[in-house]
Structure 1
Amino acid sequence: MGYDEMDVKELLSEAIGNGIITLDDVRKKMAMMRRRDILKAHKYKIWQGKDGKWYTHFYDETKADHRRLVKRSTQKELENLIVNTYCEENAEDEITLTTVYPMWLQYFQLHTLKSASVKRYSTEWSRFYEGTKIATIPLKKFNKLMLDEWAHGMIKTNHMTKKQYYTMSFIMRHCMEYAIDRGFINSNPFAQVKINAKMFRKEKKKSDETQVYLENEQPLIIEEAWKEYEENPDNTTSLAVILQFYLGVRPGELVALKESDVSRDHIHIQHMETSCYTEGPDGKFRKTSREVVEHTKTDAGDREIPLIEKAKLVIKLAMAANERNGCSGSYLFMNQGKRITENAIACRLRKYCKYLDIPYRSPHKVRKTVISSMIDEGIHINTVRKIIGHEDERTTYNNYCYDRKRPEEIVSQLDRALDKNYNRKNVIDFPNGREKITEVTKEVTKNGQISDNKKRREILIK
């Protein structure tokens, strides 16, 4: 009477549960069976030579007869060599994304100073890969069709934007390249996958009033910050809010400014505040602190910004406050001997908005406000790009260009731009153009329709 696989599993489970055998017994038995199967599958003869050593051959394509002779002192040592060699050779066939990911993440950590990036990809792994089918398939079984279906399926199921997809697929792309470098696979079929751009969810650009401070709001905030500075000139946080409107730097760059970064007419942006993350025992990354690092977000972020006169005044007052408080020569913006943080800027800005009864926008949106102001004033886009630290002007236009005018001001602008009688700047006067308009007007009925369609067409195309 035979047993199928399910019967064997049930019998083993029952035997372990009743204490007849232990799990270790089962593991040892399975290891012995695997060892026996490997030795049985070894296609080369095993023999003892006249010298008492034990011999066999392994496949070797570099040899003329594709065989490499090996020997060991005892039969057990030789059999151990055969088993270990087989396991090593076949281990590569079982390598999956789950196998490679922790190795790649450790490798990635060696090549970046940004713990926030490590944390981001750890989150992406947990969200999109961990425990999924694609993470358990051996890499050697991957092919273009399989990965194409996976990629488009991920986009469709998760309604991904282009940016979300490329962040998610970063792990797949780089794990595959890492696996090639390690010799686990010979090629990367994911590199051949082409995404249909129509699959991406289109991102609607957010309304202007939610992304920037309007022209009438900015002076109110600056005035409120000046009032607070006058009440407490030793706390430079209010000065930092003001300077943000004159520099347009990233909030993390603002609070990392040092007195030594300031020259007569420029300020050098070369540091930034960043969140630091550490990996816990559970493998999850958690924020532990915020520190200043000696680099900017990108290479383009290391830059010098021209200072307008009002910016020079703010900097001069901040340095004077530092001198009064005995903390000169360090960070530009200090409070009670300590560097102010990005969070302090946000709290102060929120306070002003609440008092003034205007919608709060984050310090990063002050940056958008400054950039939009520069574009409104006709500053060349390449100059704007360099001042604000973008690598590509398309980023500036697509994500940082907003209208700062109130709705009624926009209507006035339209009226000036589109009214044909306004200095006649935008009007092209065709010969007999006014006569044709007058003739058409006479044909309009009370319902706003030209009574004779044929005649209307004749008049308009003459």
Structure 2
Amino acid sequence: MNGYNTENHFYDGAKEFYDLLKFAVENGKVDVQQIQEEYAMIKKQELLNKHPYNIYLGKDGKWYTYLPDKEKKRVKVKRTTKQAIEEAVIDYWQKETHNPTLDDVFQAWNDRRLLLKQISDATHLRSVRIFNRYYGDIRDVHIKDVTPNYLEDFLERQIPKYNLTAKDFANLKSVTKGFFKKAKKDGLVTFNVEQVYMDMDVSDNAFRRVVKEDCDEVYNEDETKIIMEYLHKNLDIHNMGILLMFVTGLRVGELSALTPKDLQIEKITENKVETVYGKVLVSKTETKYLKDGKAVFEVVNKAKTEAGMRTVIVPPDYIWLLKRLLRQNPFGEYVFMYNGKRMKEEAFRKRLQRVCKNLGIKYKSPHKIRKTYGTILMDNEVGARFITNQMGHTDISCTTEHYYRNRKTDDRKAMILNGILEFQDKQAQ
């Protein structure tokens, strides 16, 4: 082809045309507003030409036409002027033509919640991940092509496809409910997503059950004792943070967000007896989200949940820990700082891993410390209201169902059973 490149020739021609158009606009040779108006008129005329029914003047002087209807096939509409009836037709077909994809609807819903500060950046990111995981293969399906049966079938098929737990499925349903409610509000779908859920035939047996052993969910009595003794003997800023979690049940994100003002020491005098106790004010937490492809960690001025905004009482025997933490960094922005920077959640996770490895104890995450704390309170029967206040739970059922575990070791369990009269074998003796 004598070295002639049609692709480059096309590109050069297009660029030259763009430059000429830009020159004409900048020098007033082209009236952009007039072009936009004429373009809009052309698009409206295309919609009117698409309209399958006649527009006519009735004997009563009103203008009439029909509009398609899914239930009645068509409905008659009337307006006082021809322009008004044409605008009604154009409006109808503009809405019908507007048929965004599932991805478009989800993104608009999720981004709007973030813009209105209804959710955090972390929640926004979590919703994106849920949508991408399950809707990835059908994200380009247009919203108006989705029927209740299609959505119901899609949701049910995700359970065996990903071997979902009931919690996984609840997260999927939550995101689905959110952006389909927005779609209905915007007139993109006519069905109620809640009704789709009610019509689904999914039994509990369909979900993958996760059996979690007590030994994996909490630190048992011996492990707790060994770890706390180690932390006492090695009191650097990392270990003091872990120790504070053991005696307060703080979430690790709450721990890393503490400021010196959040640690308070109170004195009360009754009958000339002075009592000193400590408090931790929880009103902030660390959050994580992606920005420009990079992980961002920051402190937000709100707790994980509404009940998470709380005052945690510190055992009197650990007032010394609060005092030492306040002396450690009295003028710092945060309580837990290292090399002039706030310590992130990950710093405590890594230190806890190292402590467990050094002690030969199976590592369990900082959240398991929180479960250990909740279990200790339950075992000591300190009262439901006190427990929920300390834990930041709205209801004691949350603590009993998700946090309470047996912390006794196997040999301790055997000793307890051995002390029960009915289980003692007199004949063997």
Pair 1:360 & 2:363 matched? yes
| 1:402 paired to 2:405 | yes
Q: Distance in 2 between matches of 1:104 and 1:211?
A: 36
Indicate whether 1:161 and 2:174 are aligned. Answer: no
Aligned equivalent of 1:112:
118
Q: What's the C-alpha RMSD, in Å, of the aligned pairs?
A: 3.6
Q: 1:308 aligns with which of 307, 312, 315?
A: 315
Cα separation, 2, equivalents of 1:39 and 1:420: 86
Which residue number corresponds to residue 44 of structure 1? Answer: 55
Instruction: Kindly indicate whether the alpha-carbon contact (under 8 Å) linking 1:381 and 1:393 is maintained by their aligned counterparts in 2.
Output: yes
Q: 2:326 aligns with which of 306, 319, 323?
A: 319
Q: Within 5 Å, which residues of 2 pair with 1:240-259?
A: 240-259=241-260
How far has the Cα of 1:391 moved from its partner? 2.0
1:172 has 2:176 as partner: yes
Determine the C-alpha separation between the residues in 1 that align with 2:47 and 2:102.
30
Taking structure 1 as the reference length, what is the TM-score of the superposition? 0.69
Match of 1:219 in 2: 225
Assess if the C-alpha contact under 8 Å between 1:333 and 1:340 holds in 2: yes
How far has the Cα of 1:198 moved from its partner? Answer: 2.6
**1:72-96 superposed Cα distances (whole Å, 9 cap, x missing partner):** 9xxxxx99x799656404225x345
Counterpart of 2:342? Answer: 339
Q: Quick one: which of 127, 130, 151 aligns to 1:124? A: 130
> Is residue 2:384 matched to residue 1:377?
no
* Offset, 1:41: 3.5
| Percent identical | 24
The amino acid across from 2:300 in the alignment is V
- Offset of residue 57 of structure 1: 6.7
CA distance in 2: counterparts of 1:341 and 1:82, whole angstroms: 57
In structure 2, the partner of 1:268 is 281
Deviations 1:419-460 (A, max 9, x none): 3679xxxxxxxxxxxxxxx9xxxxxxxxxxxxxxxxxxxxxx
Query: Does the 8 Å contact 1:173/1:191 carry over to 2?
Result: no
Structure 1 residues 141 and 148 mapped into 2: Cα distance closer, same or farther (>3 Å)?
closer
Amino acid of the structure 2 residue aligned with 1:267: V
Deviation at 1:259, TM superposition (A): 1.7
Q: Is the 8 A contact 2:65 2:77 kept in 1?
A: no
SS in 2 for 1:313: helix
Matched, 1:291 2:298: yes
Q: Deviations over 1:358-386 (max 9, x none)?
A: 11111111111111111122222342222
Q: Secondary structure at the match of 1:217?
A: helix
Q: Which ranges in structure 2 are unaligned for 5 or more consecutive residues?
A: 1-6, 11-41, 58-62, 69-74, 267-276
Asked whether the 8 Å contact 1:272–1:292 carries over to 2, the reply is yes
Distance verdict in 2 for CA 1:206–1:221, change over 3 Å: same
1:193 aligns with 2:172: no
- Counterpart amino acid of 1:309? P
CA distance in 2, matches of 1:308, 1:392: 23
| Structure 1 position 417, deviation (Å) | 3.5
Shift of 1:261: 1.6
- Greater mean deviation of Cα atoms: 119-128 or 413-422: 413-422
Preserved CA contact (<8 Å) 2:143 2:188 = no
- The 5 Å alignment of 1:28-39 reads 35=46, 38=49
Contact 1:35 1:83 in 2 (8 A): no
TM-score if structure 2 supplies the norm length? 0.74
Deviations along 1:276-321, one digit per CA (max 9) or x if unpaired, are 322x4xxxxx453211111111011011111112331101011112
Could you tell me which amino acid in structure 1 is paired with residue 102 of structure 2? Answer: L
Partner of 1:4: none
Larger Rg: 1
Looking at structure 1, the residues matched to 76 and 88 of structure 2 have their Cα atoms a distance apart, in angstroms, of 22
1:43 counterpart letter in structure 2: N
Distance 2:97 2:304 in 1: 40
CA distance in 1 between counterparts of 2:90 and 2:252 reads 56
CA distance in 1, matches of 2:50, 2:120: 49
Within the candidate set 97, 101, 104, 2:102 is matched to: 97
In the alignment, residue 207 of structure 1 is paired with which amino acid? E
Matched to 1:226, the amino acid is H
Is it true that 1:148 corresponds to 2:162 in the alignment? no
Any gaps of 5 or more consecutive residues in structure 1?
A: 1-15, 20-30, 47-55, 73-77, 230-234, 281-285, 423-437, 439-462
| Matches of 2:310 and 2:47, distance apart in 1 | 67
Matches of 1:142 and 1:160, distance apart in 2: 23
Aligned-partner residue type, residue 288 of structure 2: S
Q: How many residues in Structure 1 have an aligned counterpart in Structure 2?
A: 363
Q: What is the SS of the residue equivalent to 1:203?
A: coil
Query: Which secondary structure does the structure 1 equivalent of 2:290 belong to?
Result: strand
Please state whether the residue corresponding to 1:66 is helix, strand or coil. strand
- CA distance, structure 1, for counterparts of residue 421 and residue 304 of structure 2: 43
**Displacement of 1:181 after TM fit?**
2.1
Q: Give per-residue Cα distances to partners, 1:81-120, cap 9 Å, x unaligned.
A: 799656404225x345234222212222234342111111
Distance 2:282 2:77 in 1: 66
